[in-house]
Every structure is written in structure tokens, then in C-alpha cells.
Amino acid sequence: IGFGDDLTLLSANMEFVYKFTTRRDWNIYAGGGPALNVVMVNDNSDTDAGLNILVGVEQRRGMFFEFKLGAIDSPDFKFGVGYTWRD
């Protein structure tokens, strides 16, 4: 979800990643995939297809940082921070 300048963006992404495993605490991954973007400005909405290319780093304990570049009708740049809980 993104907000700003009287605009709201809802994006659903289905991305495939390849993890480059190392013996270190942080691992690198890269991938990409299609996106469905719904852009709402005031009372108008538009639905577009897009494409994302991503690279990220993840810690073995679950913390990750991710950078995405968008193509076609996806946002140009996205940055994410998150945590994955593991059993």
C-alpha cells in the first residue's frame, strides 16, 4: 500500500526469488515477477499490470531488507524492511 499526493496505490506481487546461500549470518537473494497495481486518485481508479525486479539481504534470524525496481506500470522504486518468523 502506498499513499501521497491524493493518490493511493494497492499492489499485489507474485515474485520468485533465488537465494544465494553463504556461511555468513546474512544471505543475498534476487528475483522478480508480475504485479497487479490498483491506482486510486480522488474518486477514479485504474488497474494496471506491472513487473518487479528485486534484490535483498536476509539475516538467518529473520530480519530482511529488500529493494525493488518496477517496469511497465509498476512504481519505479520500492524499499522494504521486514521480519520473518521461523519455527
Query: Looking at residue 87, what is its pLDDT?
Result: 66
Cell numbers linked to 57: 539481504
Q: Is 76 within 8 Å of 53 (Cβ atoms)?
A: no
For residue range 16-75, what is the model confidence (pLDDT) as tens digits?
Answer: 999 998 888 899 999 999 999 898 988 888 999 999 999 999 998 889 999 999 988 888
Judge whether residue 85 has pLDDT over 90: no
- Residue type at position 26: W
Query: Looking at residue 69, what is its pLDDT?
Result: 93
Query: Looking at residue 5, what is its pLDDT?
Result: 81
Query: Looking at residue 65, what is its pLDDT?
Result: 97
Q: How many residues does the chain have?
A: 87
Query: Looking at residue 19, what is its pLDDT?
Result: 92
C-alpha distances out from residue 32 to 6, 82, 85, Å: 29, 18, 22
Alpha helices in 1-87 (DSSP H): none
